Structure 1
Amino acid sequence: MSRPMVLVFLLVVLIITSQFEWKQQFANDLEATPSISQKQQQVSQREEVVKEKIILVQEKHIQKLNELVQNLREQLQKCKGGNDTINGTANSLSEKIIELE
């Protein structure tokens, strides 16, 4: 009877120690999980910083394009003004030629 009791006792000790090992492994896994989530947070923060930089660069390009468009509009207005002067001069010359004929 003593031999089966020793076997049962050893079996209980084995079960208890294996549970402690499982709990320890589980705790280690839990400790590793926050570091993974921290890394993911760092990666997402870096992505946000990169996105913000891209947006800033695009805004600068848009501003430059708007300035170029404004400059081209001014040049177009000057050209239209020059054409109106030339057309007015040509019309007055045509009228004078008609009068002379």
Structure 2
Amino acid sequence: MRIWDLPPSELCRQHLLGEHRELHALWSIITKNKKAYSNHPETLRWKGKLHALYLRHENLVSEMQKRGYNHHSPLEPTFATGESRQDTLITSIDEQKEALRKKGCNCKI
């Protein structure tokens, strides 16, 4: 499970769409109090920050639409509570960029 801390415009197709899918899973885990992955580091860093996660989703959707992808899975805005800024990182921005470089994909990093 991975929500990147990089601008969506820097992500290749695979990572953009993959993050969107993972974000929906994370949203479901937190908003529905699911046990699976509830103690995962990525889940823990977003607890209390659903507003920030909602905004990340909107940024991903905006980038997807710029690239011509359809989007039919909006998040429920009434659940978008808590902090509006994610300031907790699991890995630094530089480490995230290096991880993407190693993947040899088309991310613009």
TM-score, L = length of structure 2 = 0.20
When the two structures are superposed, what TM-score results if normalisation uses the length of structure 1? Answer: 0.21
Which has the higher relative contact order, 1 or 2, with Cα contacts under 8 A spaced 6 or more apart? 2
Larger radius of gyration: 1
Structure (1/2) with the larger helix percentage: 1
